Structure 1
Amino acid sequence: MPCTYLLLLFLFPLSACAKNNKAFIIIKGNQTILSSQSIFRLGFFTPSTNGSSSNWYLGIWYASSPNPVYVWVANRNRPVSDPDSSTTLQLTSTGYLILNTSRDGVVWRTENENPATGFRFSGSGNLILTGEYDSSPVWQSFQNPTDTWLPGMNVTRQTSFTSWRTPSDPSPGLYSLGLGPGFNEFQLLHNETTPYWSTGNWTGDSFVGVPEMTVPYIYTFSFLNPYTPAASFKYIVTPSSDSSPRLSRFVVDSNGQLKQWAWEPQGQFWNMFWLQPEDQCRVHALCGPLGFCSSKTLEPCACIRGFLPKNAAAWGSTDYSDGCRREYDGCDGRDAFEAVGDLRYDGVVETSRLEQASKSVCEKRCLGNCSCVGFYYNGKSNLCRILLESPMNIKNSSSWTGTTDDVLYIRDRIKNSSKRSVSRGVIILCGVVGSISVLGSTLFALLILLRRSKKTKREEGDGFAVSNLKVFSFKELHKATNGFSEKLGHGGFGAVFKGTLHDGTSTSVAVKRLERPGSGEGEFRAEVCTIGNIQHVNLVRLRGFCSENLHRLLVYDYMPNGSLSSYLSRTSPELLSWETRFRIALGTAKGIAYLHEGCRDCIIHCDIKPENILLDSDYNAKVSDFGLAKLVGRDFSRVLATMRGTWGYVAPEWISGLPITTKADVYSFGMTLLELIGGRRNVVSDTPGGEKDEKEPEKWFFPPWAAREIIQGNVDLVVDSRLNGEYNNEEATRMATVAIWCIQDNEEIRPAMGTVVKMLEGVVEVTVPPPPKLIQALVSGDSYIGVGNGLSGTSCSEGRGCSDLLTGLSSPTGSRSSFGGKIPPSP
């Protein structure tokens, strides 16, 4: 009998069975049941990715997700062996829900105070036991969560979300989330005692420290009775435009970070909105005693030289909490000390303090105490602090605010020098004799490995891709695009075509055909795999790629509402509302900020403009073409030449020859923001009054005039007049002012994109910016010499092409331009 219908059969007779003092079996063996709306599934699962584990758990997971995503686990501390028909979930005659096995008996049960007579599995993923009259629940999984916070789940001071121990072990981990002692914020705790991150206070519609947590058109948050022990907090998610449910969850990850996820139905994957703490090394005690933490490496934890993981098996499953141990044990006073840098650690360590002591005195004091694991020494103040306990989660001081001259020295064991000399002599002797016989066989083995490696590379084909990418053949994409017949657009990297996948899903995709890939197949695939692992709600998702012979193609999700550029023409048939514009601005900023600050490797987009901001079916912004600058490799200079041809978006430092930083993207974003506010392109080929020159159109540059009006407080003159005043004045002022901060001449003055996001959200105060001198020079026609912005010694006057600095284009000989002329008072 299909499990989908199993639930319907026992909903009604359940109460009667309980009254008749009979237990009712809900699940037996490998059976599962679906919730209403078929969103969640209840049953037994094993979290092992390779199927090797014999531990099984009763849990709830999303039914539609290709890879299981578990949101609740019952028997976290007592797994069962491979479930058979004797393993059951049942409602007892006494009104408790129990998990029973023939071998171990009852391994889990609910702790409801009143007996239950009914059972319900709601569409929100809540497992509910009801009383005799089906009134308020006598027990529910929402009041007994594990690591996941779902929509509709009411959080009180008794509620705690506790992480899994590891990604494959759902037993309670070391990190938890709950309401803070003031009942107006959430805290992440280590061992339920040590707070290491907080949302900040509730302001009435968001938390001070996590403005990105809310997306007003999707999430509705309610905080009842804050600042009191009766405080409770929950959120709900509004349905999408087609009334289908939006899936969302908050998770306390096993590494101690809080993450917000949202399901992308079009791409069939989970998108991470944000995570905190962003720096993983801020998670308290992540790497354990004497463990070294780095946010810049693939694995966050490592052991300092001379030390080994205390529990190598646990480290292999990403549980670093046991930390590191010295490779050599003992305490005979002949240890040495190795300087490991200006480092800090978590928690409080017992220390012994020595004033006005030399480094040698500090070393001797430590050697005389077997409890000493090292010391901090400040050469300027001659201050020594001896560590009598192992420091926890050691990390670079760059992760902390402030600077210090303290250097950490760790105690390490010195091997016996005479024994080492003897051993070295034996090794040399054995090496001379053995190398003659081994050399031949080694070379032979290398030849065999080389041949196998080449064969493997030829045969592995599709297996090269990362797990969430598909490797397409050129034939597949040629068929999907109907011979590349429907062209969506063309940019500096190549043309884009619309296609439909013939894989049974009929999914619409956008196929970009790179014209100058500039790298071999191996390099191309390696770069694609890097980009394929970058996922964010405001970045266009890369679905797969083709690297076949000379063909280099990328397959993206298709965005039905096209690019932002198509809505910025004064003749555009569709007018974007102010709410949509602000959402696009904020979403674009978040996408760029993620590229700059959220990825393991910083990615500079290099071509932010409305054409590269795509809109999905709900007009959510998706930044596209990110990472393509890396893909073009050696041919990058040719692409730069093309990008400089994009009027009005390129930062001045492009022309100066200075190294490009993320602030170049900030400048481009500011220019795009002005277009979004004004509902017009920054460069138009007509005079502001609409009069056309029959011989030759005049190019009029919008930003200089807009910058002047915004700084003078006349934002209403800049906002798109077609909105007829229907816009949020506070948001418009904030958005316009942020745009001017972004287009400052000196890149050091421009805010980082993470700060831009906070400025747009109103978390960071937005002050009146100074006038961008280069643009103001364009307004007045005065001469301008750039100082401190990479333009030193470059004169920009009415007689010389100031536009060259802004766009990288030299005006054609004989053409007229109003870049250096007087800007009319109103567009």
Structure 2
Amino acid sequence: MATAIFTLMFLVTMVLLQLMAVAQTNGSVPVGAFVTATDDAPSWLSSSGEFAFGFQPLEYKDHFLLSIWYAKIPEKTIVWYANGDNPAPRESKVELRGDSGLVLTDPQGNIIWSSGILLGTVSSGVMNDTGNFVLQNSSSDRLWESFSNPTDTLLPTQIMEIGGVVSSRRTETNFSLGRFQLRLPDNGNLVLNSMNSPTKFAYDDYYRSGTSDASNSTNSGYRLIFDESGYMYILRRNGQTEDLTKTAVPTTDFYHRATLNFDGVFTQYFYPKASSGNRSWSSVWSKPDNICVNMGAGLGSGACGYNSICNLKADKRPECICPQGFSLLDQNDKYGSCIPDFELSCRDDGLNSTEDQYDFVELINVDWPTSDYERYKPINEDECRKSCLDDCLCSVAIFRDGCWKKKLPLSNGRFDIGMNGKAFLKFPKGYVPLDRSPPQLPGDKKKPDIKFITGSVVLGTSVFVNFVLVGAFCLTSSFIYRKKTEKVQEGGSGLETNLRYFTYKELAEATNDFKDEVGRGGFGAVYKGTIQAGSTRVVAVKKLDKVVQDGEKEFKTEVQVIGQTHHKNLVRLLGFCDEGQNRLLVYEFLSNGTLANFLFGCSKPNWKQRTQIAFGIARGLLYLHEECGTQIIHCDIKPQNILLDNYYNARISDFGLAKLLVMDQSKTQTAIRGTKGYVAPEWFRNRPITVKVDVYSFGVMLIEIICCRRNVDLEIGEAENPVLTDWAYDCYMNGSLDVLIGDDMEAKNDISTLERLLKVGIWCIQEDPSLRPTMRKVTQMLEGVVEVPAAPNPFPCSTISEYSQ
């Protein structure tokens, strides 16, 4: 009998485990499923296994955090959590219930946390590969999702609407509510602010995105978007965007997250998925640039606790230091408040002067700007010190262009090299510091007390930094003077630009006499070389063969156009040479070559890589058309003029045929320019040229990116290989997208993106330029921000569409 019962229990267990495994193959979680908080508890995985939902052990003994984390990296980085303020004891349970969603209970059955009241009955949960845990009904409608209830982290594809809030945790390992918030209030400004944790009362902002317009609300922001390619931006109501991610980010095979760190710094990170080598989270950008200085002069302690000094580290994260004579209030919170190890008394026994009783620690470029109660001006340094010595309420005197007296508690303390002043911190002579450290264990070696070296460290750092800045200024001035003199001596053409000027000899040496040719175009060849710019840097040197007429015109255009642009999806021009008859351009070297070589090689590239490249090109053109100081029409968009960096991010290059439009100019007259297969019809009809010629070329290239095939292949007859754009439209109309992409299984498995991109491409190649969308609209359609309507026949002219706006 006992054997039969044991066998039955074993079979039931195996069936349940099998059901759990089946559920996890697609990330689905059935109603009734549960997980218990133990050291080896299973988790609910996304279909790819990249994200997990379950319990993570905390540093508190026998307590757990219900959370979502990256499951395939050693750090198991947490991106969402439910019960930060109320850790779950061992043997707690989270269960998916049909009537109430996710419910976390302790071992006695008391509710610790739940997903809240739902408008419907839950049929299943889904742990998505985006990191979003979703509760849905039988019609797959979303009833609740973790993306709509963020904690301290945002993930790609996540959107923050007006009223959205992200809050920091208390410390790196304490997930209770912290002191900082990221908010998108009604005015459309993305802001960072500190707050009073118990009441959540928001103090003054210490960062603002500048996307609020009180005079015209259509210019204000209303969404924070973290797109699937790892770019974060604020979408304004008028359709324009404000980029937060302003530099190129690796897109393929990398994880991305944006976290409001416990110290108040909002940072975007990336992490390689590959398992080889040392892996860690790397920073793309951080806001604000300097939290120590940017923290406002309002309520609250500042970036650090009261009586502390905030010092910015190289990674733009703050460190908090107790000044000499002060110790941490909580030894486990190094970012918390500091308390004095002595007492400043106003009781006067009349036996000693203040000079006999007190002394100062002198701190260079340190200030607590919100704690002063008196100011004297004019006054010298000695008078400032004496004024504080004689005042029993005075704890610190700041001397700059006047004297500020401050009393405890001191708030918003910071080290600021731009302050150009001194802090005199008063303490009793001969005081004995209070020992708040744990008792020393036998055999432990005594470590030097950081309190007594803080003043020296800050002072030494200040002197060193000032020395470096003075030296850098002298070297820079010398360098600029030498280059200007060099250019006059060499007889350059006097192009007005901020770019570096090279001599022909420098570039000949850099390229080993132009031996390593990596490409050739209509006006010359491109060579690989190395230059010294602080360190050795690999560059691409474009040498023009023709220095008269077209060649000279292309050279000047390229210098003038690229010299005034700066965008993550444009190639960067580093310098030039116009010595005598020599015309050379120096670019950053991009190791992965051209998009043409990438697309039209022997093997078909990764589908996700191709889509991200298309998004990058669209953003680059949007910048040229609408966001650059001078509106620019490229006039020669084609795969040969798109370069790929180390992470296969697209960079638009070769601006030799570009046209610059003056203020309020939207069109121009010019001779036909461009490359066969990519040239818009209006070039041949003597019509004014607008930015829509670039839109047309982009549309052709987008269809090439989808199909990995040239639009017009001159080596193959048209009967064997028809024009790609014609064939693509036929496939679209016939509903045969699978024929268009052949054996590309990745694209077939992402059919919605494929159809969206193809429809955008067809809109872009409309014969009537007024029907083509702007690059802003193209970018929004590509990223799924706006719907893409059915595309009309691109070849006959037709009525004007809303997508021309």
TM value normalised by structure 1: 0.41
TM value normalised by structure 2: 0.43
